[in-house]
Structure 1
Amino acid sequence: MKFISTTLITAILPLAHAVGNAIVLNNCTETVYVWSVSSSIDNSQTLENGESYTEQFRHDDKTGGITLKVTTAADGIYNNAPETDYAYTLDSETVWYDISDVNGDAFANYSVALVPANSACESFIWAGGIPPSGIHTASCNADGDIRLTLCE
């Protein structure tokens, strides 16, 4: 029996791996609103100055990915307000992540930074809150956090 237990544990351990978090930190003086959107839309989270929203990286079976939609309007995603989207897709031990703006630039004139805890992974920093041209997608090990900081 002891042999079976040890064998089972040895077989399962490589399948278990730590998963990091998607974080949104509001350093802006105004309130921001965050929705976690996959095949469904979660209720908005209200973030005052200095507050953050955290969710563990997860996979959506229908869409594959998750988007954290951030606006400065309480019903922003329902009334086409400018939004900053932090999207990620968890793929086994890798997380693919990107940042984009929709319907305008919600944080124009303020800095926006999407930064992984693992410094070897690519960061995206918009000093003026407006995305530069090009692709803003990268991948990193899924065991570390990736934080979107607003008004850094």
Structure 2
Amino acid sequence: MHFNLAAILSLAPLALAGIPRPRMVNTVVETNNMPMMRPSPNETIGHAIVFNNCEMPIYLWSVGQDISPQYQLIPGDSYSEVYRRDSQSGGVAIKITTVKNGLYLSAPQTVFAYNLVENLVWYDLSDVFGDPFQGEIVTVEPSEPEIWWNEGVPPSGSQVRLLEASNDLVLSVCY
């Protein structure tokens, strides 16, 4: 698996502050129903990574034309998938709730969406049906301008960003 060392090292201050660093879970969504765009031999494709730093489990689904199974991340766990281009919608939305089966219950969701276009990945972060991480810090790294929700609630305005697809994107909830 490829992880952006700079993104991982950016979590080093957490360990220095006595906050345990999240464990990596080697979960990569890659099924026949979810085709992946393969990189040319001279390029690599990064990952969309979600860290659960909360004191409770969170639940997520990778959604394109198909919906992945529900993944439960216990505190300290992470989820990772290689960027892929969905053949029907173009983009992928990683939908996260704090409620088991929340995707099907219209529970508040944080949506970490991306769209792989050649060697670039367009991405954004938003909430629907409420703010599941209200009162917590939610951040995506790297992002420029910075995506940092100090109270777990998205600010007004666009959160859409662009990054070279060889880089990993790390969403941390309850940072």
* TM-score interval (norm. to shorter): 0.7 to 0.9
Match of 1:124 in 2: 147
The letter of the residue matching 1:139 is L
Q: Percent identity, aligned pairs only?
A: 40
TM-score by length of 1: 0.86
Whichever of the two has the greater Rg, that structure is 1
Number of residue pairs aligned between Structure 1 and Structure 2: 137
1:77 aligned to 2:100?
no
Q: How does 1:2-151 map to 2 (within 5 A)?
A: 16-116=42-142, 121-151=144-174
- Relative to structure 1, the CA distance from residue 55 to residue 14 in structure 2 (aligned partners, 3 Å threshold; closer, same or farther) is closer
Contiguous gaps of at least 5 residues in structure 1 = 1-12
Match of 2:33 in 1: none
Kindly state the Cα deviation for residue 123 of structure 1 after the two structures are TM-superposed. 2.9
Q: Distance in 1 between matches of 2:145 and 2:166?
A: 15
TM-score by length of 2: 0.75
Over 2 Å off, 4+ runs: 13-16
Kindly state the Cα deviation for residue 24 of structure 1 after the two structures are TM-superposed. 0.4
Q: Distance in 2 between matches of 1:110 and 1:142?
A: 28
Query: CA-to-partner distance for each residue in 1:84-123, whole Å, 9 max, x for gaps?
Result: 000000000000000000000000000000112xx7x443
Q: Distance in 2 between matches of 1:14 and 1:21?
A: 16
Q: Distance in 2 between matches of 1:139 and 1:122?
A: 10
1:105/1:129 contact within 8 Å kept: yes
Query: CA-to-partner distance for each residue in 1:36-55, whole Å, 9 max, x for gaps?
Result: 00000000110011000000
Kindly state the Cα deviation for residue 15 of structure 1 after the two structures are TM-superposed. 6.4
Q: Distance in 1 between matches of 2:40 and 2:170?
A: 27
